[in-house]
């Protein structure tokens, strides 16, 4: 047998097949004229390597700088930065790329709207789950979110009193994880009260992050690592995430004090429509929301604090905006209420800019060209071509945002032409697959931003150093320790 495989004739045949595939993909394939790296044109491995290194998003930004609106990032995938891209790809009901199958976590039995590729089926699945995420429902948890932010402030006050460097990034992550627990299950996970990563759940997400980013392209690995047996063994990071969520769900079902939280909406829908929404789908959505809803918000609020503290004049201006309304009894609460903070135009501009300059979800959003193909600008893409939009590419594009696109400049949000630019702000996605958790994200980031600006001065321990982050499935910055100073001028409560 081994003699057969080692024979020169077989080796030559294998080589001939490889060479044919390479030549076809590079020179004959309908996408062969689209510019991009050589290796990307012949194998998906180019993209997977960059994803695993956490550098795909910035590499694709650089490639668009070089090549323009279309870059071939895999044999059958083109990244698009054309101004019509968001409208033609994300706002249209196109089928999602196979990459989305990775979101069936922890294994293929746990299908959910995100992992569903067909737009109609996806919308149908979302219908039963969406009411839980509404702003009015999220605001019912505001007083509990406040408790977690109060814990955060206790820690900040302690570090301020001790004059010790604080890894604020971690404490912000603890707070948002607990807020996710509150909004979903009426109970925090207990990170911020203890000031530590209870049960290693955050560390687990760090490990999960690069793996998941590439997983969607590794179908064989999905079969091997994301199957019921591996889930049952609970040995992999997605198993850990799933366990954390199911534990919280079980506890929630026994909790007599549970509010009408997000889970309550889902359970009610499930009981009313058991043929449409299974308990497993509810579990899947909960796992996805815990996995995707905390790191992303942490990135958002971190980006706000990091960029603002490095531009003290902006910090002062945002604070002045709050101080100015304080005499009228506005923004006096601790923490600041969402309804008041969202009426601070400059603060809001800073939050939007923080999310623009470092969008928390860097992956491309792939859609498949429909029957008959799809034209974008002067290019026609044949049916089946995967066309993806990277939020980072759109949000950092100098063509769309002007020459200062890569600078943190909240003033851009007051320019006359901002209406035409805003369509390139794709932080939460747009269209039928856009983020259902965006109200929860906006409520938290807005409240924390207003409260921190109002009550603290934050100084980087080493102002010359830069934070660190990798662009996996989400971005979680780190390594920017700070000194916290409590503001001496306090508001009348």
Which positions make up the binding site for heme?
435
Map the footprint of ligand HEM across residues 178-217, applying CB under 6 A.
180
| CB 214, min distance to ligand HEM, A | 17
Q: Which stretch binds ligand HEM (CB under 6 A): 56-64, 71-79, 286-294, 302-310?
A: 286-294
Does 402 contact ligand HEM by CB under 6 A? no
Q: Which is nearer to ligand HEM, 51 or 440 (CB)?
A: 440
Does 281 contact ligand HEM by CB under 6 A? no
Q: Which stretch binds ligand HEM (CB under 6 A): 230-238, 287-295, 338-346, 404-412?
A: 287-295
Does 388 contact ligand HEM by CB under 6 A? no
Does 436 contact ligand HEM by CB under 6 A? yes
Q: Which stretch binds ligand HEM (CB under 6 A): 80-88, 269-277, 392-400, 434-442?
A: 434-442
Map the footprint of ligand HEM across residues 336-375, applying CB under 6 A.
360-361, 365
Q: Which of 46, 174, 177, 428 binds ligand HEM (CB under 6 A)?
A: 428
Does 289 contact ligand HEM by CB under 6 A? yes
Q: How many residues bind ligand HEM (CB under 6 A)?
A: 24
Does 106 contact ligand HEM by CB under 6 A? no
| CB 390, min distance to ligand HEM, A | 10
Phi, psi of 482 (to 5 degrees): -135, 160
Map the footprint of ligand HEM across residues 144-183, applying CB under 6 A.
180
Q: Which stretch binds ligand HEM (CB under 6 A): 32-40, 274-282, 379-387, 435-443?
A: 435-443
Q: Could you tell me which residues come within 8 angstroms of residue 12 by beta carbon, excluding any fewer than 6 positions away? A: none
Distance (Å) of CA 448 to CA 166, 205, 336, 409? 17, 22, 8, 20
Q: Which stretch binds ligand HEM (CB under 6 A): 144-152, 249-257, 314-322, 421-429?
A: 421-429
| CB 152, min distance to ligand HEM, A | 17
Does 126 contact ligand HEM by CB under 6 A? yes
Q: Which of 83, 86, 292, 335 binds ligand HEM (CB under 6 A)?
A: 292
Q: Which is nearer to ligand HEM, 159 or 191 (CB)?
A: 191
Q: Which is nearer to ligand HEM, 42 or 301 (CB)?
A: 301
Does 335 contact ligand HEM by CB under 6 A? no
Does 102 contact ligand HEM by CB under 6 A? no
**Where is the binding site, in residues?**
435
d(CA 412, CA 1): 68
Q: Which is nearer to ligand HEM, 125 or 317 (CB)?
A: 125
| CB 224, min distance to ligand HEM, A | 25
Return residues touching ligand HEM (CB under 6 A).
113-114, 126, 180, 288-289, 292-293, 296-297, 300, 360-361, 365, 427-429, 433-437, 440-441
């Amino acid at each position: 047998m081994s003699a057969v495989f080692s024979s020169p004739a077989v080796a030559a045949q294998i080589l001939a097949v490889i060479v044919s595939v390479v030549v076809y993909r590079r020179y004959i394939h309908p996408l062969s004229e689209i510019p991009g790296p050589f290796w990307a044109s012949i194998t998906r491995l180019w993209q997977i390597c960059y994803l695993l290194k956490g550098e795909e998003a910035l590499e694709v930004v650089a490639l668009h700088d070089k090549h323009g609106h279309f870059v071939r990032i895999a044999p059958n995938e083109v990244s698009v930065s054309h101004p019509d891209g968001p409208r033609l790809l994300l706002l249209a009901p196109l089928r999602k790329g196979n990459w989305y199958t990775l979101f069936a976590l922890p294994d293929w039995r746990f299908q959910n709207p995100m992992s569903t590729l067909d737009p109609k089926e996806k919308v149908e699945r979302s219908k039963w789950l969406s009411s839980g995420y509404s702003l009015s429902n999220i605001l019912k948890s505001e007083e509990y979110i406040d408790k977690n932010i109060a814990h955060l402030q206790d820690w900040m006050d302690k570090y301020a009193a001790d004059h010790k460097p604080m890894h604020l990034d971690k404490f912000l992550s603890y707070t948002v994880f607990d807020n996710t627990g509150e909004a979903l299950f009426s109970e925090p996970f207990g990170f911020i009260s203890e000031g530590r990563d209870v049960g290693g759940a955050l560390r687990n997400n760090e490990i999960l992050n690069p793996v998941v980013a590439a997983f969607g392209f590794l179908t064989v690995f999905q079969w091997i690592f994301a199957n019921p047996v591996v889930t049952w063994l609970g040995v992999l990071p997605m198993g850990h995430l799933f366990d954390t969520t199911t534990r919280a769900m079980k506890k929630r079902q026994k909790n007599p004090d549970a509010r009408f939280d997000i889970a309550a909406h889902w359970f009610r829908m499930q009981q009313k429509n058991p043929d449409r929404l299974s308990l497993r789908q509810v579990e899947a959505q909960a796992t996805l929301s815990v996995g995707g809803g905390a790191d992303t918000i942490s990135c958002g609020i971190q980006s706000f604090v990091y960029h603002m503290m490095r531009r003290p004049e902006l910090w002062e201006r945002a604070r002045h905006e709050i101080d100015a309304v304080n005499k009228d009894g506005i923004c006096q609460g601790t923490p600041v209420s969402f309804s008041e903070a969202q009426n601070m135009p400059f603060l809001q501009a800073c939050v939007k800019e923080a999310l623009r300059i470092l969008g928390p979800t860097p992956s491309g959003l792939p859609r498949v060209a429909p029957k008959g193909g799809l034209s974008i600008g002067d290019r026609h893409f044949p049916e089946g071509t995967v066309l993806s939009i990277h939020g980072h590419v759109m949000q950092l594009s100098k063509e769309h945002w002007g020459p200062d696109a890569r600078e943190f400049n909240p003033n851009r949000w007051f320019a006359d032409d901002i209406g035409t630019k805003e369509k390139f702000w794709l932080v939460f996605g747009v269209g039928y697959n856009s983020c259902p958790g965006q109200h929860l994200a906006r409520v938290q980031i807005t409240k924390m931003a207003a409260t921190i600006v109002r009550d603290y001065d934050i100084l980087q321990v080493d102002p010359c150093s830069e934070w660190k982050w990798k662009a996996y499935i989400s971005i979680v910055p780190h390594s920017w320790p700070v000194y916290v100073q409590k503001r001496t001028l306090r508001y009348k409560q």
